[in-house]
Amino acid sequence: MENKALTTNKSILAWLDEKIELVKPDKIVWIDGSQEQIDALRAEAVSTGELTKLNEELAPDCYLHRTHPNDVARVESRTLICTPTKEEAGPTNNWMEPNACYQMLYDIARDSYKGRTMYVIPYSMGPVASPFAKAGIEVTDSIYVVLNMCIMTRVGKSVLDKLGDSNDWVRGLHCKCDIDEEKRYICQFPQDNTIISVNSGYGGNVLLGKKCFALRIASYQGWKEGWQAEHMLILGVENPKGEVKYICAAFPSACGKTNLAMLIPPEVYREKGYKVWCVGDDISWIRKGPDGRLYAINPENGFFGVAPGTNAHSNPNALAATKKGTIFTNVALNLDTMTAWWEDLDNDPPENGIDWLGNPWNGKTSDVKGAHPNSRFTAPAVNCPCLSPEFENPNGVPISAIVFGGRRAKLAPLVYQSRDWNNGVFVGSIMASEKTAAAVGKVGELRRDPMAMLPFCGYNMADYWQHWIDIGKTLDPDKAPKIFNVNWFRKSDEGKFLWPGFGENLRVLEWILKRCEGEVDAKETAIGYVPYAEDINLSGIEDEVSMDTLKSILEVDNDLWKEEADGIGEFYAQFGDKLPETLKNELDSLKASL
Ligand code: OXD
Ligand code: MN
pLDDT tens digits, one per residue of 150-183? 999 999 999 999 999 999 999 999 999 999 999 9
Instruction: Report the pLDDT averaged over residues 490-494.
Output: 92
> Which pLDDT score is estimated for 1?
62
Percent of the chain with pLDDT over 70: 98
**In angstroms, what is the span from residue 282 Cα to ligand 2's centroid?**
5
Closest-lying ligand 1 atom to the alpha carbon of residue 452: 4
Residue to mutate (ligand 1; options 74, 200, 219, 300; most atoms within 8 A of CB): 74
Q: At what angle do helices 98-109 and 10-23 cross, to 10 degrees?
A: 60
Nearest CA residue ID for atom 3, ligand 1: 204
Q: Dihedrals φ, ψ of 51, to 5°?
A: -125, 150
**In angstroms, what is the span from residue 306 Cα to ligand 2's centroid?**
10
Q: Which of 259, 233, 231 is nearest to 506 (CA)?
A: 259
| Nearest ligand, CA 73 | 1
Q: In which band, very low, low, confident or very high, does the pLDDT at 436 lie, cut at 50, 70 and 90?
A: low
Q: Dihedrals φ, ψ of 492, to 5°?
A: -75, 170
Closest-lying ligand 1 atom to the alpha carbon of residue 252: 4
CB of 204 sitting under 6 A from ligand 1: yes
Closest-lying ligand 1 atom to the alpha carbon of residue 231: 4
Average pLDDT, the chain: 96
- Burial environment of residue 511 by CB neighbours within 10 A (0 to 12, 13 to 18, 19 or more): buried
Nearest CA residue ID for atom 1, ligand 1: 253
CB of 304 sitting under 6 A from ligand 1: yes
CA distance 40 to 32: 12
Q: What is the pLDDT of residues 496-540, one digit of tens each?
A: 999 999 999 999 999 999 999 999 999 999 999 999 999 999 999
Q: Which of 135, 220, 193, 192 is nearest to 459 (CA)?
A: 220
Query: How far out from the chain centre does Cα 144 lie?
Result: 20
Residue to mutate (ligand 1; options 304, 440, 453; most atoms within 8 A of CB): 304
Closest-lying ligand 1 atom to the alpha carbon of residue 456: 4
Q: At what angle do helices 421-429 and 461-473 cross, to 10 degrees?
A: 160
Range list of H helices, 404-460: 421-429
- Burial environment of residue 99 by CB neighbours within 10 A (0 to 12, 13 to 18, 19 or more): exposed
Q: Is residue 254 pLDDT above 80, yes or no? A: no
Whether residue 150 lies in the annotated active site: no
**In angstroms, what is the span from residue 107 Cα to ligand 2's centroid?**
30
CB of 257 sitting under 6 A from ligand 1: no
Percent of the chain with pLDDT over 90: 95
| Nearest ligand, CA 232 | 2
Record the pTM: 0.97
CB of 74 sitting under 6 A from ligand 1: yes
> Which pLDDT score is estimated for 445?
77
**In angstroms, what is the span from residue 505 Cα to ligand 2's centroid?**
20
Report, in this order, helix, strand and coil percent for the chain, each rounded to 5. Answer: 35, 25, 45
Neighbours of 496 (CB within 10 A): 8
**Beta-carbon contacts of residue 551 (< 8 Å; ≥ 6 apart):** 533
Q: Hey, what's the torsion of the CAs at 147, 131, 216, 197, to 10 degrees?
A: 30
Nearest CA residue ID for atom 2, ligand 1: 253
Question: Strand, coil or helix: what is 164?
Answer: coil
Residue to mutate (ligand 1; options 72, 148, 253; most atoms within 8 A of CB): 253
Q: What is the pLDDT of residues 311-342, one digit of tens each?
A: 999 999 999 999 999 999 999 999 999 999 99
> Which pLDDT score is estimated for 106?
98
| 504, 266 Cβ separation under 8 angstroms | yes
> Which pLDDT score is estimated for 470?
98
> Which pLDDT score is estimated for 442?
66
> Which residues are paired to 390 by β-bridges?
none
**In angstroms, what is the span from residue 105 Cα to ligand 2's centroid?**
25
Q: What is the pLDDT of residues 49-90, one digit of tens each?
A: 999 999 999 999 999 999 999 999 999 999 999 999 999 999
**In angstroms, what is the span from residue 465 Cα to ligand 1's centroid?**
21
C-alpha distances (whole Å) from 307 to each of 282, 311, 501 are: 15, 9, 18
Residue to mutate (ligand 1; options 215, 260, 282, 376; most atoms within 8 A of CB): 282
| Nearest ligand, CA 231 | 2
Nearest CA residue ID for atom 4, ligand 1: 253
Q: How far apart are the first and last CA of the chain?
A: 67
CA distance 550 to 305: 30
**In angstroms, what is the span from residue 230 Cα to ligand 2's centroid?**
10
DSSP readout, 218-264? HHHHHHHHT-EEESEEEEEEE-TTS-EEEEEEE--TTSSHHHHHTPP
Q: In which band, very low, low, confident or very high, does the pLDDT at 93 lie, cut at 50, 70 and 90?
A: very high
Q: Which amino acid is at 518?
A: G
**Beta-carbon contacts of residue 312 (< 8 Å; ≥ 6 apart):** 319, 346
Among the listed residues 255, 386, 457, 516, the single catalytic one is 255
- Eight-state DSSP code of residue 211: I
| Nearest ligand, CA 203 | 1
CB of 377 sitting under 6 A from ligand 1: no
**In angstroms, what is the span from residue 174 Cα to ligand 1's centroid?**
18
Range list of H helices, 24-111: 35-48, 86-89, 98-109
C-alpha distances (whole Å) from 272 to each of 87, 266, 500, 519 are: 53, 10, 21, 19
Question: Strand, coil or helix: what is 387?
Answer: strand
**Beta-carbon contacts of residue 316 (< 8 Å; ≥ 6 apart):** 264
CB of 253 sitting under 6 A from ligand 1: yes
CB of 438 sitting under 6 A from ligand 1: yes
Instruction: Return residues with CB closer than 5 A to ligand 2 (ion).
Output: 253, 282
Q: What is the pLDDT of residues 208-228, one digit of tens each?
A: 999 999 999 999 999 999 999
> Which pLDDT score is estimated for 125?
98
CB of 282 sitting under 6 A from ligand 1: yes
**In angstroms, what is the span from residue 454 Cα to ligand 2's centroid?**
11
